[in-house]
């Protein structure tokens, strides 16, 4: 059984993660790194969509991070863009990491991470179903909550419900 240790300093851990990602993918791969004090000092950053899949593999496989578990995945319509939010967790190390990946409003696409964390499967499908974000490379991207013939994505801010006769 793993020995329990004190939680790492959130800022120094975040700095190390940012350095790992920028070293591998370049300066522009990471933006907005911060410790989210409103979320129990959760280290948080944004990863460029173009490198997200490879960054996810690095975060899972690097011995300093070892994020073997996808704790949470959801999408949000931010108005001018879509945000896909991931919370990664390591069972070997006492740390969590929040990752944002932005998708363009007019063409919302983000690389799937189902092959990295199988737990992403239904969460990506739900996010696609309700927001219309396409997870490129997903093995079975189809609606999961709404019928296949449903028109639109009801959690989008521009969604117009069809309520004839109500």
Domain ranges for the chain, please list them.
10-136
φ and ψ of 100, to 5 deg = -105, 140
Q: Give the model confidence (pLDDT) of 55-99 as tens digits.
A: 999 999 999 999 999 999 999 999 999 999 999 999 999 999 999
Half-sphere exposure of 101 (CA within 13 A, CB side): 25
Q: Between 1.10.260.30, 3.30.460.80, 3.90.1640.10, 1.10.260.40, what CATH number should domain 10-136 receive?
A: 3.30.460.80
Measured CA to CA in angstroms, residue 117 lies from 30, 120, 121 at distances of 21, 6, 8
Give the per-residue pLDDT at 161: 82
């Amino acid at each position: 059984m793993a020995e329990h240790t004190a939680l790492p300093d959130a800022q120094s851990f975040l700095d190390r993660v940012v350095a790992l990602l920028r070293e591998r993918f370049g300066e522009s791969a990471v933006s907005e790194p911060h410790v989210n004090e409103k979320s129990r000092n959760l280290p948080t950053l944004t990863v460029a969509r173009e490198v997200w899949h490879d960054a996810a593999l690095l975060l899972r496989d690097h011995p300093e991070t070892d994020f073997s578990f996808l704790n949470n995945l959801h999408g949000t319509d931010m108005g001018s863009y879509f945000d896909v939010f991931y919370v990664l967790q390591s069972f070997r190390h006492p740390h969590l990491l929040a990752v944002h990946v932005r998708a363009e409003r007019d063409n919302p696409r983000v690389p799937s991470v189902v092959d990295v964390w199988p737990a992403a499967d239904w969460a990506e499908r739900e996010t696609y179903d309700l927001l219309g974000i396409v997870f490129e490379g997903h093995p079975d991207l189809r609606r999961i909550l709404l019928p296949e013939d449903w028109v639109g994505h009801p959690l989008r801010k521009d969604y117009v419900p069809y309520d004839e006769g109500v």
